Each structure stands twice: as structure tokens, then as C-alpha cells.
Structure 1
Amino acid sequence: MKISMIVHGRVQGVAFRYMTKIVADELGVYGIVRNLDDGGVYIEANGDKLAVQQFIEEVKKSPAPMGNVTNYSIDFEPSFKEHHKFNVVYS
């Protein structure tokens, strides 16, 4: 299963990307996470369907203790190439 996701809320400056990577690694999900200029975070994720679904639920709850996701959007048919590890992208 492949998805892309954009989350908004308190998701920058609270270790959100780092904690998202930890969750992905624990679940065996691959992809990327990076900050957006508008204060949101962009995520690409692929892996086993159940793992990706659990990953989505964890991201919606905010994997960062000081974070807070107030809204999100998910694309279930993204066009990115499949990833083979999970990386935090620093831009």
C-alpha cells in the first residue's frame, strides 16, 4: 500500500519528523517525511497494508508528545516511486 499525507497543526519544532521515522521503523513502513513551507509536514509511506494503516493512525494522533495534528489529507493513489527505507528529509 502506498499513501502520501499532509498534516497540519503543531507539527514543526516538536520532533514530529524524528518521531514519525521511529514509528515507521517500528512498523516496517518506508518513505520520507519533510517540513513544508506553510508549517505543515509532508509524508510519503509504503509497505504492508495493515502496517501503513496503523502508521496513518499513529501520525493522526501525533507521534511527537508535544505535537498536535489538527487536520490532515491523504492521497491513496500517489505517484511516487516505492521507498525501501524511511528517511527524514531536511530542506
Structure 2
Amino acid sequence: MKFGKVDDPSLVDFSLPDDTVATQRLLKKTKNKKETEIYIGCAKWNKKDLKGFYPKGIKDELSYYAHEFNSVEMNATFYKMPDLTQVEKGKEKVPKG
């Protein structure tokens, strides 16, 4: 097995463990009774890092990625702040919400 990659992901149980007693107690005390929402995504969405995820010939990785995951990480600010045009172009490629 290559680090971080499993041979057959269908054989992996990705379910979360039961809450601990301490977590259950804490959750009972919360005033917000709304169901918890968990967002899943990857640290990057370009072809090089997700080789095999995108269909062959895909030209717009961000649009495809955004329809498969409900979270897109925008970590480019580490290098520099994107200009407004870049942000708007990215926003147009992903579903609203």
C-alpha cells in the first residue's frame, strides 16, 4: 500500500465511531438542536493531485469537483490574495451555496 492510498476503497469502513459519553453529555447541553452538517472535500482540486478522480479529457476540474464534493478549499491565500476577478470566475464554476 502506498502511504495514504488504499488498494480498494470499497473495503474501507469510513463510518464515524459512536460519540463518547463526554461528547454525548456536551451535545445534550447545547441549545442548538439542529442536525450537524459535515462538509467533505480535498485540500486541492487540480488534476495532478487527484489523478484518476476526473474523467479523461475533462477541461474544467473545478466545476466537476464542485459537483462531487460539497466543500472547496480556497487555500491560495497562503501565497497571495487572489484578485476579485479570480474569485468571481471561481464562484461562477461552483453551485450556489
Question: What TM-score, normalized by structure 1, do the two folds share?
Answer: 0.25
Structure having the higher strand fraction is 1
Structure having the higher helix fraction is 2
Q: Computing the radius of gyration over CA atoms, which structure comes out larger, 1 or 2?
A: 2
Question: What TM-score, normalized by structure 2, do the two folds share?
Answer: 0.24
Greater length-normalized contact order (CA 8 Å, ≥ 6 residues apart):
1
